[in-house]
Amino acid sequence: MFDARHVITSVEELRQLVPPPRPAQVTKVLPALDHHGRRWIERSPFVVLASADADGRMDLSPKGDPAGFVRILDDRTVAIPDRPGNRRLDTLRNVLERPRVAVMFLVPGRGEVLRVAGRAQVVTDPELLATMEEAGSRPLLAMVVAIDEAMFHCGKSVIRSGLWSPDRWPAIDDLASYATCLADQTTSDETVEEMEARFATWHQGNELY
């Protein structure tokens, strides 16, 4: 636990601890993608998508494919394919209730990230989906985001974490497999062995559906 007397409740209290940002940090938020942002998205194979439902419950969803899988439709619009997954539809349901989303783009080997925020729609445009075909599989849906804000975030957190430095990665041998976690935490219609065999097909390019 912690001492409730030390809870910060105002911006003024925050500023007593943290000095004002430098001018570049204040002015770096753009209303659209510039050429730097476009090139970053073209090199990004992995994004994290934040959304919330009508009650404000937050969700973070990882999305990944070969670099450039997020399509840049124009400087104010990007499209994210919805690949087969767990079928929960958390992000898509959230967008239908509350369209505002935020997306964080990562590029392996770089500490910085690109942050984009805007309003999303779920679309089934066949011409758009045809451009998103990967390994012979065309997505059923895509999320089109109308950008309000785009900005680069400095690399301090990634550098401190050693995210791209294998020699600093923690040991993972004692971490339970995904199948074991599901077996312990859920009511499943499969055994651990059946789940392990199915999940192994992911690495062979097969779909989860």
- pLDDT by residue (tens digit) across 104-136? 999 999 999 999 999 999 999 999 999 999 989
d(Cα 77, Cα 96) in Å, to the nearest integer?
18
Would you tell me the crossing angle of helices 178-185 and 192-200 to the nearest 10 degrees?
140
Mean pLDDT within 22-27? 94
**Residue 200's pLDDT is what?**
86
CA distance 95 to 209: 22
State residue 16 phi and psi, 5-degree precision. Answer: -70, -25
What does the pLDDT average to over 50-58? 97
DSSP 161-184: HTTT-GGGPPP-TTSPPHHHHHHH
CA atoms of 154 and 110, how far apart (whole Å): 10
When pLDDT is cut at 50, 70 and 90, the band that residue 204 belongs to is low
User: Taking a C-beta distance cutoff of 8 angstroms, is the pair 71, 128 a contact?
Assistant: yes
Note whether 41 and 105 are within 8 A (CB): yes
Torsional class of 55: left (φ above 0), alpha (ψ -120 to 50), beta (otherwise): alpha
How do residues 60-97 score in pLDDT, each as one tens digit? 999 999 999 999 999 999 999 999 888 899 999 999 99
pTM, full prediction: 0.92
Residue 199 pLDDT level (bands cut at 50, 70, 90): confident
43 pLDDT above the threshold of 50? yes
Could you tell me which residues come within 8 angstroms of residue 179 by beta carbon, excluding any fewer than 6 positions away? Answer: 192, 195, 196, 199
Does the pLDDT at position 99 exceed 90? yes
Give the C-alpha separation, 29 to 101, whole Å. Answer: 16
Position 201 confidence tier, pLDDT thresholds 50, 70, 90: confident
206: which DSSP letter? -
Contacts of 11 (CB under 8 A, 6+ apart): none
Question: What pLDDT sits at residue 140?
Answer: 95
Q: Is the pLDDT of residue 188 over 50?
A: yes
> Nearest Cα to 28, choosing from 144, 167, 177, 151?
151
